Amino acid sequence: MDVVKEAVLISLLGVVAGLMSVALRGVPRAEAPPESASCAPPSSTQGFVRWVTVEDAQGLLNDPAIRFADARSPSEYEAGHILGALNVPMDKDMVSEALLERLRSARTVITYCDTQSGCARSVRLTHLLQAAGIGDVRVLKGGMPEWNRQGRPAEAGPCRECP
């Protein structure tokens, strides 16, 4: 009987040691949270969101297989947006079929907004695009404010490619 008690005690000590190890190290994440304090990572109820830095996004700007999707209102978009971005406003939580067709042709879609409410509009757009079957959708860390702060290419005016 002493052998059984000793086995149970060793097993319990192993479980406790494992739990302490996880508590001290933290649970590993699939992806690190964004560095910008203005764009918090999504909550666990929102699903998986991939983030992209402004530096990495600008490196993709001239790639024709990459599309930028601005989730802000048309007036915000017209005041200034990433060069060549499509305006896909999230005021109605839906994306028109015409815009979806333009975005489906992209290898990667990078969404962005003004970063208020933890990038809520660009995260919402990301989930809608993923639900529509677009596989590689990412959210720009820091959104348009960070893009502008770093002096990245932008333009003003209406969307030339939007239906």
Question: Which residue, among 35, 4, 106, has the nearest Cα to 65 in the 3D structure?
Answer: 106
Query: What is the spatial distance between Cα 10 and Cα 137, in angstroms, rounded to a whole number?
Result: 47
Tens of pLDDT, residues 68-110: 999 999 999 999 999 999 999 998 889 999 999 999 999 999 9
> Cβ(42)–Cβ(51) under 8 Å?
no
The first and second tokens of residue 16, run together, are: 């406790």
In contact, 154 and 82? CB cutoff 8 Å: yes
Residues in Cβ contact with 37 at an 8 Å cutoff, skipping those fewer than 6 apart: none
Taking only the tens place, the pLDDT of each residue in 106-146 is: 999 999 999 877 789 999 999 999 999 998 999 999 999 99
> pTM surpassing 0.85?
no
Q: How far apart (Å, rounded) are the C-alpha atoms in residues 70 and 157?
A: 13
